[in-house]
Structure 1
Amino acid sequence: MHTDQPQNIAPEALPEVITRFLNSHRAHDTATALSAFHPDATVTDDGKTHRGAPTIETWLTHSAGEYTYTIELTGAQRVDTDRYVATHHLEGNFPGGVVDLHYRFTLSDGLIEGLRIEP
């Protein structure tokens, strides 16, 4: 029986490519973060979709410097073999000051093909 119900997993059980992206993004290491994506990947964040490596690189650079915040990985889920969710708790000087965000990853060929970031 196939279900689309996400299964809770330990954060350290996330695929390496997701962990590499999350750690490098948190460290503002744009080159390493970008290496986790397919060249034609899409990222949707704050209602805007960024498609392709150059646009994702701009998004990574911009998102790293726009606000000051702390980010904590608070949970992880496996939807299926290619889809994972990493939940983060952020606190900082952005509007609202506190938010829990779900990073919804779609993988293909060992790289991130799609990422949606949403509450």
Structure 2
Amino acid sequence: MQDNQPRTITPDTLPEVITRYLKAHRAHDAATAVTAFTDDATVIDDGNTYQGTAAIERWLGRSATEFSYTIHLTGTQQTDTAHYIATHHLEGNFPGGTIDLRYQFTLRDNLIEHLLIEP
């Protein structure tokens, strides 16, 4: 295996904190989803950066109400013990109607320290 190359894993081998976040995110449960993040966590989504749990909770609440969509996990990968990728297929009433997004997680102390969401 090459160094730092993501390898495919099964969804049930994702760390609990990522699974908890993804389930809460799909359920539009911002209060539970935010508990998966470190206090100083950063989320980058759609070109915007959200720093800290208060900003992340506002982002989660807004993203849950801005558009209606379905989200399906289509793939999971692990680079190392702190870096995971969960690929999702979204369909909804947002511009374009469908998109595949890569949720790139960095963990610290069993919490999400950094989340980058991009196509």
Scaled to the shorter chain, the TM-score interval is over 0.9
- 1:66 maps to 66
Deviation at 1:2, TM superposition (A): 6.0
Q: State the distance in 2 between where 1:93 and 1:12 align.
A: 30
Structure 2 residue identity aligned to 1:41: A
**Runs of 5+ unmatched residues, structure 1:** none
Given the two structures, how large is their TM-score scaled by the length of structure 2?
0.98
**Runs of 5+ unmatched residues, structure 2:** none
Q: State the distance in 1 between where 2:78 and 2:49 align.
A: 23
Given the two structures, how large is their TM-score scaled by the length of structure 1?
0.98
Runs of 4+ in structure 1 over 4 Å off: none
Q: Does 1:40 align with 2:7?
A: no
Give the RMSD, CA atoms, in angstroms. Answer: 1.0
- 1:97 maps to 97
Structure 1 residue identity aligned to 2:35: S
Secondary structure at the counterpart of residue 5 of structure 1: coil
- 2:83 maps to 83
Percent identical among aligned pairs is 63
Secondary structure at the counterpart of residue 35 of structure 1: helix
Deviation at 1:12, TM superposition (A): 1.2
Size of the aligned set, in residue pairs, is: 119
Q: State the distance in 2 between where 1:95 and 1:26 align.
A: 19
Deviation at 1:31, TM superposition (A): 1.1
Q: Deviations over 1:82-107 (max 9, x none)?
A: 00000000001000001000000000
